Chain A
Amino acid sequence: GENVEQHPSTLSVQEGDSAVIKCTYSDSASNYFPWYKQELGKRPQLIIDIRSNVGEKKDQRIAVTLNKTAKHFSLHITETQPEDSAVYFCAPKSPSGGYQKVTFGTGTKLQVIP
């Protein structure tokens, strides 16, 4: 199965600074690369995604970059705000057992210090 790792596991930044979280995956057939945000006590929510034919995608203060050769993709958050504090999960999708299986990373706890 797919091995998915996230780094760092925890990240503290000052409000206004940038944050970068990296996700490394093992299956070169992976073709869809999303990031989910989970606030304390709440459900994970999709915040941005990218497909394998695109290198970068941006949505206001968040962006995702993909390096298929190196098998990693990253979440970039600029001008961080306290409400960005949450756990972030990557969840690449790869073919497995006849369907596209999603494997979640271990999560990165982001703390934005006001």
Chain B
Amino acid sequence: NAGVMQNPRHLVRRRGQEARLRCSPMKGHSHVYWYRQLPEEGLKFMVYLQKENIIDESGMPKERFSAEFPKEGPSILRIQQVVRGDSAAYFCASSPLSTGQGFDGYTFGSGTRLTVV
């Protein structure tokens, strides 16, 4: 089991470009959670997705950010027209079931470190 895979590990984008971050959950997992971590800060919830459904996007900025988890393939976090303030580490975690149904702790991917120049 390869664990939660995120790529790329590092991503540099110029202001105004688009950033696409990918997260492949652990084998057999169908729930994905995205978190953002600004330098020297904690983990902020962004979005929770199941296959083909967004369950909770209350932590996602209303503009420029979107997420999907298609039936086939990885979950994608997309940031359009990036700004310097988007520079952060983006982590995803996956679970086989929704938390509260027998699954408790998170296994995180290695993260994508986005730098906007």
Q: Which residues of A contact B (CB under 8 A)?
A: 31-32, 34, 36, 42-46, 49, 51, 89, 91, 93, 95-97, 99-107
Contacts and interface: CB of A to CB of B under 8 A. Distances in A.
Given A36-B106, A99-B55, A100-B100, 4 more contacts: A44-B108, A46-B106, A93-B100, A107-B41
B55 to A, nearest CB: 7
Interface in B7-49: 33, 35, 41-45, 48
A32 B106 CA distance: 12
- Interface size bracket, B side: 20 to 34
Q: Which of A34, A44, A95, A105 has the most chain B CB atoms closer than 10 A to its own CB?
A: A44
B35 to A, nearest CB: 8
Given A49-B104, A104-B42, A99 B99 contact: yes
User: Do most interface residues of chain B lie in helix, strand or loop, or is the interface mixed?
Assistant: loop
A88 to B, nearest CB: 11
B104 A32 contact: yes
Main secondary structure of the interface of A (DSSP, over half): strand
Contacts of B41: 106-107
A101 B98 contact: no
Contacts of B105: 34, 46, 49
A74 to B, nearest CB: 18
B110 interface: yes
Contacts of B33: 102
Interface string B95-117: 00011110011111111000000
Nearest to B33: A102
B91 interface: yes
B104 A89 contact: no
Contacts of A105: 42
A106 B42 CA distance: 5
Contacts of A89: 42-43
23 contacts: A31-B100, A32-B99, A34-B104, A42-B110, A43-B109, A44-B106, A49-B105, A89-B43, A91-B106, A93-B104, A95-B100, A96-B56, A97-B56, A99-B48, A99-B56, A100-B98, A101-B99, A102-B99, A102-B106, A104-B35, A104-B42, A106-B42, A107-B42
